[in-house]
Amino acid sequence: MNFNIPEDIAEIINALKQFVNKVVIPLEEANHELLYNERNYYMEDGRRNPEVEALRRQVRKESAKAGFYTMFGDKELGGEEFGPLASLLVNEALGKNFPNRKLIEHVVIPSPFTNGLTPVLKGLNQALKDKFLEGIGSGEKTLCFGLTEPDAGSDVWGIKTRAVRDGNDWVINGTKQWISNAAYADYCLLFAVTNPELQAKRKGGITCFFVETKSEGFTVDSIIATMGSLGGDAAIINIDNLRIPNENIIGELDNGFTKAMNGINNGRLGMSGKCIGSAQWALKKAVEYSKIRRTFGKAIEEHQTIQNMLAECALDIYAARNMALHCAWKIENSTKTPTKEISMVKAYCTEMMGRVYDRAIQIHGGMGLSNELQLEEGYRMARLLRIPDGTSEIHRRTIARSLLKGDLSFQ
C-alpha cells in the first residue's frame, strides 16, 4: 500500500476547500441567524424553513457546476466515478476542516448511496434518464430512498408495502418511515413487494420504482424530530393507491434488493471518512483548550488524566483511519467485495467518533456542553451515525458470519 494521498484526489480536496471557503462559508455567515438558530431553521411542523431549502439548492447547484456534486456518480449517469478511496479522503477533509456545517452536510457532496447520481439510477430506462437525470445531476432536484418501514429496518426483507399489477400500471400501498430527505425530495426510489412468495423465501420479490413525489397517493405525513432538534431530515411517507407505470421500474422486476445495495460501500466509506475527519477536529479543539485552561495553578495539559484522554483520542483516530484506508485499498484492488472489512470500518469509525467527542467534551468541562463550540452537535451526530447504513449490531453480525464461514484473513 502507498499511504500518500493520490495526486488527483489531493487536487480535488484542495479545490473543494477553496470552493467551500469562497462559496459556502460566505453564505453561512450572511445567513447565520437563519441557519444556526433552530427556531428559525425549522418551521413548527419540523420541516426546514423554505429559505433554508433555497440556500441548500443554491449550494448544490454551485457544487454541481464546479464538478463536486457529481464526482462520485457513475460515468454513464454523467458523473466522474471516483471510488471508495476518494470518498473516504474527501469526506475526511470536509469533516476535519468544516465540521457540523448546515450548508455542507449532504449538500456540497450528496450521499453516494441515496441522493445525487446514485448508482441505483443506472437501472432507469433511457427515456426516464433523458427526462430526469439532468435535473438530478445539476442539484436542482433531489431524491429520497423509500426502503425502511416501521417493521423493516435492518431486515429489509420484512417490508410490507405492496405493489399490485393493474394493466400497464402498478398500484402501491404501504408506509415508509425514517426516510431521509422525503419532505424535500422531488423523486423517490420506492421499494415494494411484487412477489410475496419470493420475498418469503428471501430470494427476491421486491421491486424498485421511480416515483415523482408530487404524484397523487404519495404523501409525507410528518417529520421525525431527532435527538435534541426541533425538526429533522427523516420523515414518514404514506402511500395510498399510488399508480406507477410499469416503465418506471428501476432495473429488473422482483430484483430491487440488489439495487438497494448499489453504491452502499462508497456511502459507508464516505461516512467513515466524515467520522475520522470530524474526530480530528474535535481532538484539535481539545488540545488547544488544554493549553489555555488552568486549574490548580497550571494548564490542564499538565494533568496526567487530561494527557491520557488526549492520547486515547489519538489512538482511536489512528486505528480508524488506517483501518479505513486499508479497506478502501482492498475494495479498489480486489475482485471480491471485502464485506467483513467494510462492516468493521463502518462500526468502528462511527463508534470511535463518539468516544473522541465524549472525551473532548469532558476536557472542555462546562464549556463542552455549550452550543457555541459545536462539540455537543458533533456528539449528537456521532450517536446518530451508529444506526443508519447498518447498525453497529448488524455489522457485528456480518463480521461474525464471515469469520464463521472461514474468512479469517486480515490482509
Q: Is the residue at 96 inside a domain?
A: yes
243 - beta bridge partners?
A: 171
Which residue from 37, 38, 34, 36 is spatially nearest to 232, judged by alpha carbons? Answer: 38
Residue type for position 34: L
Say what the pLDDT of residue 262 is: 64
Residue-wise pLDDT tens digits, 359-381: 999 999 999 999 889 999 999 99
Mean pLDDT of 109-126: 88
What is the percent of the chain with per-residue pLDDT over 90, rounded to a whole number? 87
Instruction: Give the percent of the chain with pLDDT over 70.
Output: 98
Taking the mean position of all CA atoms in its chain, how far away is CA 238?
Answer: 23
**Looking at 223, 255, 287, which one is the last position of a domain?**
255
Distance from C-alpha of 226 to C-alpha of 406, rounded to nearest angstrom:
40
Banded pLDDT at 387 (limits 50, 70, 90) = very high
Q: Which domain holds residue 287?
A: 261-404
Q: What is the mean pLDDT of residues 233-250?
A: 97
Cell 490482509 identifies what position?
A: 411
The candidate with the shortest Cα–Cα distance to 157, out of 119, 183, 195, is 195
The pLDDT value given to residue 335: 86
Q: Is it the case that residue 386 has pLDDT exceeding 70?
A: yes
Residue-wise pLDDT tens digits, 269-293: 999 999 999 999 999 999 999 999 9
Last residue of a domain, which of 137, 161, 178? 137
Tell me, what CATH number does 365's domain have? 1.20.140.10
Predicted confidence (pLDDT) per residue in 153-190, tens digit? 888 899 999 999 999 999 999 999 999 999 999 999 99
Please give the residue that has the higher pLDDT: either 211 or 84: 211
CATH code assigned at 153: 2.40.110.10
User: Model confidence over 252-263: pLDDT tens digits?
Assistant: 999 987 766 666
**Shortest CA distance to 73 belongs to which of 271, 333, 263?**
263
Residue 43 identity (one-letter amino acid): M
pLDDT at 223 over 90: yes
The domain spanning residue 77 has which CATH number? 1.10.540
Looking at residue 259, what is its pLDDT?
Answer: 66
Asked if 212 and 205 count as a contact pair (C-beta separation under 8 A), the reply is no
Q: Is residue 409 part of a domain?
A: no
Does a structural domain hold residue 2? no
Task: Report the chain's C-alpha Rg in angstroms.
Answer: 22
Residue 297 CB-density burial (10 A; 0-12 exposed, 13-18 middle, 19+ buried)? exposed
Mean pLDDT of 341-352: 97
14-56 pLDDT, tens digit each: 999 999 999 999 999 999 999 999 999 999 999 999 999 999 9
As a whole number of angstroms, the distance between CA 67 and CA 78 comes to 10
Q: What is the pTM of this model?
A: 0.94
Give yes or no: residues 338 and 363 share one domain.
yes
How would residue 111 be classed by pLDDT, with cut points 50, 70 and 90?
A: confident
What is the rounded average pLDDT of the residues 128-145? 96
